[in-house]
Amino acid sequence: MNTDWARRAPSRAVRRVVGVTGMRMIRARYAPTTVIGAEHTKGLSGPVVVVANHSSHADTMVLLTSLPRRIRRRVVVAAAADHFFSTPTSAAATALLIGAIPVDRAKVSRATLEECHRLLGEGWSLIIYPEGGRSDDGAITAFKPGAAWIARRAGVGVLPIHLDGTYDVLPKQRRRPRRHPVTVRIGEILTVREDEDARAFSQRIELAVRELAIQSEAGPSSTAPGSTGQRTDPTESGEAAAG
């Protein structure tokens, strides 16, 4: 499915007004969010591959409303084709409201990889859940190398993020959300090393997310090396509030 129309100005305007505003309202009601490590996004001038653990349909809502505007205004979400693009109506809504592109979870699609490479080259950041699907119990599962391959080929950095609490908001087994606090913990940008293949890079990305998870388990006072430990809700900041 071609989703280029969802990245044109009229669709982006609808996404800012309807999608982001609606997600902020839902997040405020069900997932009050604290962001730690936001300083790691400062100075990012080009596109990045944003990777995060995946345990809930609330993940994308929290991510999109927690990223700074300079990333969120040009970001694409890799979404499961068999779930979100199964009908023309759901496909159009998903592409419009969260800027998604369809991704086949069952196999590695060369066409999808090429599409992601093209979008990064056009200046769009990309959100990928390397586990390939939601965790059954909230625990992180093994990462697939697709995100690393895409970032390596495009020559862009990877922004690792750990989401804590979204599983409690809306686990895989439940259809209705319940209120629970969420922490978004952002790590330092990762770049591929010389002579590092995609699989090795993927393992390093996974390790970074797992280390962020350990910090979350240690409590809100635990911060990554180089982090100021600043905790901000981006909906209260001028940059994020601008849409």
Lowest-pLDDT range of 43-52, 77-86, 102-111, 128-137: 102-111
The three-state secondary structure class of 35 is strand
Confidence of residue 243 (pLDDT cuts 50, 70, 90): very low
Location of structure tokens 């995060």: 52
Ordered structural domains, the chain, with CATH: 4-241 (3.40.1130.10)
DSSP state, residue 126:
E
Beta bridge partners of 80: 103
Instruction: Specify burial of residue 1 (Cβ count, 10 A radius: 0-12, 13-18, 19+).
Output: exposed
Query: Tell me: the pLDDT tens digits for 29-69?
Result: 999 999 999 999 998 888 999 999 999 999 999 999 999 99
Q: How do the residues of the chain divide into helix, strand and coil, expressed in percent and rounded to 5?
A: 45, 15, 40
The torsion angles phi and psi of 162, rounded to 5 degrees, stand at -115, 130
Which amino acid does the sequence have at 60?
A: T
DSSP state, residue 105:
S
